[in-house]
Structure 1
Amino acid sequence: MPETRTPKRIQRKRTRGWKRPDNCVIVDRTSKYGNPWAVTLDPGRGWRVHPAGDKRLLSPDIVGWWANRADAAAQAVSLYSSWFRNQPELVELACEELPGKDLACPCPLPESVWEPDHCHAAFLIDFVRELCDA
C-alpha cells in the first residue's frame, strides 16, 4: 500500500532566498485561491475584517471589528469558506489541483499544535481532504 502523506500549511515568506517547496501550491491573494477578505489592525479601534480590494466581492464595506487578531482571522476564514463553497468552478479546480499538495500562504502559523489555524489555506486543506479525496 502506498504511503499517504498529510498535506500541511506552509508560511510563505517574502524574504530573499525563500523558495516554494516541492509539492506546494501558493494560495495567497496573488492566486485564484486567495482569500478576498483581509484582516488589518487599525490602531485605537482594533482588528477589522474587510474586502482586500478584490473585484470578486460585491460589498466594499468593513465586515466588523474584533479585539484580537485570532477572532478577526477566524471570521475572515468563515467568510472565505462561505464564499469558496459558492464558487463551483473554483471548487472543481481545487479538487483537481490541490489533493496531496502542501499549501503556502503568508498568514502566521499557529504557535502550538493546540492553537487553531485561522488561515484559509488550512480550510482548503481540510476541504480538499474531506470533499475531494472522498
Structure 2
Amino acid sequence: MTTHPTRIQRRRTRGWTLAGAAHPIRGGMIVDRSSRYGNPCKVGLMQEMGYEDPHAAAAANYRTWLAGNRSDAPTDEADQQRERILAGLERLRGKDLACPCPLDQTCHADYLLRLANMPAPDLAAWVSQVRARVDRQRVRDGEKPMYGTAP
C-alpha cells in the first residue's frame, strides 16, 4: 500500500466496498457525481463535442471551473455547487478518493487529491483567491457578489 492518498476506481460490482478498496487507516471518500465533489462536466458531452481525449477535457474543464472561471457555467447554481466543493476540501485531506474513471485516464479526482493535500495555509489562500475571482466576475456580470470580496 502507498503512504500517500491515491485515487482508486470505484466499482459497481458485487462485493466492492470503499472500505475494502481504500487504505485501512486513512480511509476513503467517494468523489463521483453522487457526492458533493462530482464533476459537473460530463465525459459524454466532451466526446460529443469531438475532443480526442474526453476524460482529459472534462478534467481540465473541472479544474478551470473549480478555480473560479464562470464562463461555461455563469449561474448561481454552479457557483453554489463550487462553494460546496471548496467548503468541503478539508474533509478530503489524507483520504483516498474514489471515482469510476479508469485509473489510466485523467480524472477530476487527481486534482482534488492535489488540492486537498496542499498545506492548510496554502489551501486556505487558494480558496480565498477563488472566492474573490468568482465575486469579481459576478460583479462584472451585474450580479451580487457571493462573498463580499469583490473590489
**How far did residue 118 of structure 1 move?**
0.5
The equivalent residue for 2:33 is 29
Q: Show the counterpart of 2:51.
A: 66
Q: What is aligned with 1:128? A: 116
Quote the offset at 1:130 in angstroms. Answer: 2.7
- C-alpha separation between the residues in 2 aligned to 1:39 and 1:89? 22
Q: What is the CA–CA distance in structure 2 between the aligned matches of 1:12 and 1:119, rounded to whole Å?
A: 12
- CA offset digits 1:2-51 (Å, max 9, x no partner): xx9310001000001101125110001100100111113xxxxxxx417x
Q: What residue identity is the alignment partner of 1:118? A: T
Which sections of structure 1, spanning at least 5 residues, go unmatched?
A: 41-47, 51-61, 111-116
Aligned residue pair count: 102
Structure (1 or 2) with the greater helix fraction: 2
Within-5 A mapping of 1:1-134: 5-21=3-19, 22=24, 23-40=27-44, 48-49=45-46, 64-67=49-52, 71-86=53-68, 87-95=82-90, 97-110=91-104, 117-130=105-118, 132=120, 134=122
Gapped regions of structure 2 (runs ≥ 5): 69-81, 123-151
**Equivalent pair of 1:85/1:91 in contact (CA under 8 Å):** no
4+ long deviations beyond 6 Å: none
**Sequence identity of aligned pairs in percent?**
40
Distance 2:63 2:120 in 1: 15
Return the TM-score normalized by structure 2.
0.59
Greater CA radius of gyration, 1 or 2?
Answer: 2
Deviation of the 1:131 alpha carbon: 5.7
SS at structure 2 position matched to 1:10: strand
| Length-normalised TM-score, structure 1 | 0.66
Amino acid at match of 2:65: W
Aligned alpha-carbon RMSD (Å): 2.3
Distance (whole Å) between structure 2 residues aligned to residue 126 and residue 133 of structure 1: 14
Please say if residues 36 and 84 of structure 2, whose CA atoms lie closer than 8 Å, have aligned partners that are also in contact: no
